[in-house]
C-alpha cells in the first residue's frame, strides 16, 4: 500500500450531504478533504503543470461516482478469518479484504459465545487498535449476543445464550473503556430493560435482534434506550396485521435505526424498498453481516463454533440450514440497493456511510464528503463498480 499523496479527482459525480455535484471534482491531501467543486472551477491544465501541487495525482473519473468510504457496523469476518479467533495477522486480513471492497470503518462483530471467548475478542481488538491500522479502521466491537432469544438463535449457538448480565457489562467497560460500541440483545428477556439502560448510560448503542419481542415490548424497550435493530426482518418476530411484532415496531418507530442485508438472499428487494420508504433517508443502514467465507469460494467454514456450508455464495448452517451471515461486501450491498431495490445512489450512499457514521458518533470525522473530513473516498465507474479506494488518504485499491 502506497503512502498519502495529494489527489485531484475530476469529471465525476460527487455525492455530498447537500446533493450530487455533476461534472464535479474533489481534492484531498494529507489525509483530509481539501476542496470540492464543479467542473467550471477546475482547471485541469493548471493542476497538471504543477502550479497547484506538482506531486499531486490527477485522475479523470470518466463520469463515474465519488462516494464516502463505507462504514459496516455488523461484520463477523472475511477472507478466511473470523473476529472470534483472529490474531493480528487475521485482523489485517479481514480489514484488508473489506477495505479493498470499499469499507473504511467497521465494527468487529462477535457471535453468541462464552464470556471468556468474548473477553479474548475484546482483548485482541483492543491491542490491534493501538497499532497503526493500515486498512479499514476498527472503530470498536459490536457484541451480537449472548443475551438473545432461544426461539430465534439463527446462526448463533444456543448453548451460550443467557439472560443479560450487568456484571459482565461492568467488567467489559472497565477493562476495555469505549471499545464496545453496540450490543444486540432480545429486549423481552428477563433483565433486558435495566441492561438497555446501562448500555445507553455508557454510550453503547442498544440494539434488538434475534428476538421474539412483541410490538409493545419493543416500544417499552425504546423508552429505556433501545435505538437500533440488527438485520431487519431476519431472526425476529414478523409483521402480522393484528400483532405488528418486532418488524412492525422497527418499521414504525422513528427512534429505531434499522440495519438491512442487501444481498438478495436475506431480504427480498421489495422489502428493502419498503423499509427504505418507511424509515426515510436517515434511519436505515446497509450492513454485510459477512462471515469468514466472504471473498472465498464454496466449501466448509465456521461462524464462531458452528459449522457452515457455502454454496453459490450463500452461507448456511450445516445443521438446521439457517442462513449463517453472508459472503457480502459493502460495494455489493450498495450496488444491490441501487440496481435491485431501486434506491438512488445518493440514498444508498447515505445508508452505507452517513447513517452508520451518525450511529457511531463519528460523523464529524467521516461518513460524508466535505472539506475538513477524513479522506475516506471511493471512486466507482458508471456501472457502480469499484475502481479506487482511499482510507485516510492512503491508497488501498
- Residue 359 marked as a ligand binder: no
3-class DSSP state of 377 = strand
Q: DSSP characters for 102-124?
A: TEEEEEEE--S--HHHHHHHHHH
Please identify which residue in the block is written with the cell numbers 473477553. Answer: 119
- Residue 30 marked as a ligand binder: no
Nearest-CA neighbor of 359 among 136, 173, 203?
Answer: 203
The whole-angstrom separation of Cα 135 and Cα 395 is 9
- Residue 142 marked as a ligand binder: no
Count how many Cα atoms sit within 13 Å of the Cα of residue 23 in the half-sphere of its side chain. Answer: 7
- Residue 169 marked as a ligand binder: no
| pLDDT tens figures, 293-320 | 999 999 999 999 899 999 999 999 999 8
pLDDT for 320 equals 87
Number of other residues whose CB lies within 10 A of the CB of residue 322: 17
Dihedral sign computed on CA atoms, order 167, 173, 176, 179: positive
For 34-57, what is the HEC assignment?
EEEEEHHHCCHHHHHHCCCCCCCE
Category of 213 on φ-ψ map: left (φ > 0), alpha (ψ -120 to 50) or beta? beta
Model pTM above 0.75? yes
3-class DSSP state of 70 = strand
- Residue 332 marked as a ligand binder: no
Instruction: Give me the residue spans of the domains in the chain.
Output: 7-68+370-395, 70-360
Q: Compute φ and ψ for 299, nearest 5 degrees.
A: 150, -170
Residue 82, H or E segment: strand 81-82
- Strand ranges of the sheet holding 394-395, from the earlier edge strand across to the other edge: 32-38, 19-29, 7-16, 57-68, 377-380, 386-391, 394-395
3-class DSSP state of 360 = helix
- Residue 235 marked as a ligand binder: yes
- Residue 299 marked as a ligand binder: no
Residue 273, H or E segment: helix 269-279
Residue 376 a catalytic site member: no
Retrieve residue 253's grid coordinates: 418507530
**Active-site entry in 72, 92, 212, 289:** 289
The CATH code of the domain at 70-360 is: 3.20.20.140
> Are 213 and 241 in contact, with CB atoms under 8 Å apart?
no
pLDDT for 47 equals 54
Per-position pLDDT tens, the chain of length 397 = 446 789 999 999 999 999 999 999 999 999 999 999 998 777 655 555 444 556 789 999 999 999 999 999 999 999 999 999 999 999 999 999 999 999 999 999 999 999 999 999 999 999 999 999 999 999 999 999 999 999 999 999 999 999 999 999 999 999 999 999 999 999 999 999 999 999 999 999 999 999 999 999 999 999 999 999 999 999 999 999 999 999 999 999 999 999 999 999 999 999 999 999 999 999 999 999 999 999 999 999 999 989 999 999 999 999 988 999 999 999 999 999 999 999 999 999 999 999 999 999 999 999 999 999 999 999 999 999 999 999 999 999 9
Q: Compute φ and ψ for 324, nearest 5 degrees.
A: -125, 80
Query: Is 7-68+370-395 assigned to CATH 2.40.37.10?
Result: no
- Residue 234 marked as a ligand binder: yes
| pLDDT tens figures, 69-89 | 999 999 999 999 999 999 999
Q: DSSP characters for 187-231?
A: TTSTTHHHHHHHHHHTTPEEEE-SB---HHHHHHHHHTT--EESS
pLDDT for 381 equals 98
- Residue 213 marked as a ligand binder: no
Long-range contacts from 189-192, C-beta under 8 angstroms, 24+ separation: 189/147, 189/148, 189/149, 189/163, 189/164, 190/163, 190/164, 191/163, 191/164, 191/165, 191/166, 192/147, 192/163, 192/164, 192/221
Number of other residues whose CB lies within 10 A of the CB of residue 288: 30
Amino acid at each position: 500500500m502506497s503512502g498519502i499523496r495529494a489527489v485531484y479527482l475530476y469529471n465525476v459525480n460527487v455525492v455530498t450531504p447537500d446533493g450530487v455535484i455533476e461534472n464535479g471534482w474533489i481534492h484531498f491531501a494529507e489525509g483530509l478533504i481539501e476542496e470540492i467543486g464543479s467542473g467550471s472551477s477546475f482547471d485541469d491544465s493548471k493542476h497538471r503543470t504543477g502550479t497547484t501541487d506538482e506531486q499531486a495525482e490527477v485522475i479523470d473519473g470518466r463520469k463515474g461516482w465519488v462516494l464516502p468510504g463505507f462504514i459496516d457496523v455488523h461484520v463477523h469476518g472475511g477472507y478466511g478469518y473470523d473476529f472470534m479467533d483472529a490474531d493480528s495477522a487475521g485482523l489485517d486480513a479481514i480489514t484488508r479484504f473489506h477495505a479493498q471492497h470499499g469499507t473504511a470503518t467497521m465494527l468487529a462483530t462477535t457471535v453468541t459465545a462464552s464470556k471468556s471467548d468474548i473477553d479474548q475478542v475484546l482483548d485482541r481488538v483492543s491491542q490491534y487498535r493501538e497499532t497503526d491500522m493500515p486498512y479499514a479502521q476498527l472503530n470498536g466491537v459490536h457484541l451480537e449476543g449472548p443475551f438473545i432469544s432461544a426461539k430465534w438463535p439463527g446462526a448463533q449457538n444456543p448453548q451460550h445464550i443467557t439472560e443479560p448480565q450487568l456484571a459482565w457489562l461492568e467488567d467489559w467497560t472497565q477493562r476495555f473503556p469505549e471499545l464496545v460500541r453496540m450490543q444486540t440483545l432480545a429486549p423481552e428477556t428477563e433483565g433486558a430493560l435495566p441492561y438497555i439502560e446501562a448500555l445507553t448510560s455508557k454510550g453503547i448503542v442498544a440494539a434488538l435482534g434475534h428476538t421474539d419481542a412483541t410490538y409493545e415490548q419493543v416500544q417499552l424497550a425504546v423508552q429505556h434506550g433501545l435505538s437500533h435493530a440488527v438485520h431487519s426482518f431476519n431472526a425476529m418476530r414478523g409483521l402480522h396485521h393484528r400483532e405488528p411484532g418486532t418488524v412492525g415496531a422497527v418499521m414504525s418507530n422513528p427512534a429505531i435505526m434499522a440495519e438491512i442485508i442487501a444481498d438478495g438472499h436475506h431480504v427480498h428487494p421489495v422489502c428493502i424498498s419498503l423499509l427504505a420508504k418507511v424509515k426515510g433517508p436517515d434511519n436505515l443502514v446497509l450492513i454485510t453481516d459477512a462471515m469468514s467465507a466472504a471473498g472465498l469460494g464454496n466449501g466448509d467454514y465456521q461462524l464462531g463454533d458452528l459449522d457452515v456450508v457455502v454454496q453459490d455464495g450463500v452461507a448456511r448452517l450445516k445443521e438446521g440450514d439457517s442462513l449463517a451471515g453472508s459472503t457480502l461486501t459493502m460495494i455489493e450491498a450498495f450496488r444491490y440497493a441501487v440496481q435491485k431495490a431501486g434506491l438512488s445512489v445518493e440514498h444508498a450512499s447515505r445508508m452505507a456511510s452517513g447513517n452508520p457514521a451518525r450511529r457511531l458518533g463519528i460523523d464529524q470525522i467521516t461518513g460524508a464528503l466535505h472539506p475538513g473530513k477524513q479522506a475516506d473516498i471511493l471512486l466507482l465507474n458508471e456501472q457502480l463498480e469499484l475502481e479506487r479506494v482511499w482510507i485516510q488518504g492512503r491508497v488501498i485499491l
